Amino acid sequence: MKPPFGPRTFCKTARCPSSETLLRYRGCALSFVERLTVERHLRNCDFCSAEIQLLTSHRLEAEPAEIVEMPSHLQKLAGSLLNKTAQLSRMSDFMVRRPLSH
């Protein structure tokens, strides 16, 4: 006998709430009705249940990035590498390209 709804697949469908909606659910930023709708969906959707667990394991707010100056020795190294790359690129324009014979 076939299951009434067919095999369940582990993927997001058109009926699933968006990731943004799940984030808002996690952050308690949904209306009461929206929250109930998402909770009902989570009871029946393995994919969204897994997604909400993943979202729960990460912070809601991004940490502010601290901008620091690159140390001078790394600046020199990066400049040197970029300069060599540019030189090699220019040199390759003058190289004759022939197919290799074996």
**Span 45-91, pLDDT tens digits:** 999 999 999 988 876 666 677 888 889 998 898 888 888 777 767 76
Structural domains in the chain (count): 1
Indicate whether 70 belongs to any domain: no
Can you give the C-alpha Rg of the chain in angstroms?
27
Which pLDDT score, from 0 to 100, does residue 27 have? 86
- Tell me if 72 is assigned to some domain: no
Query: Minimal CA–CA distance to 26: which of 64, 63, 46, 54?
Result: 54
Given a contact cutoff of 8 angstroms between Cβ atoms, the answer to whether 56 and 26 are in contact is: yes
Q: Write the single-letter amino acid at 54.
A: L
Taking only the tens place, the pLDDT of each residue in 9-46 is 788 899 999 999 998 998 889 999 999 999 999 999 99
**Residue 78: strand, helix, or coil:** helix
Residue 23 in tokens: 């984030």
Residue 44 lies in a domain: yes
Q: How far apart are CA 8 and CA 23, in angstroms?
A: 24
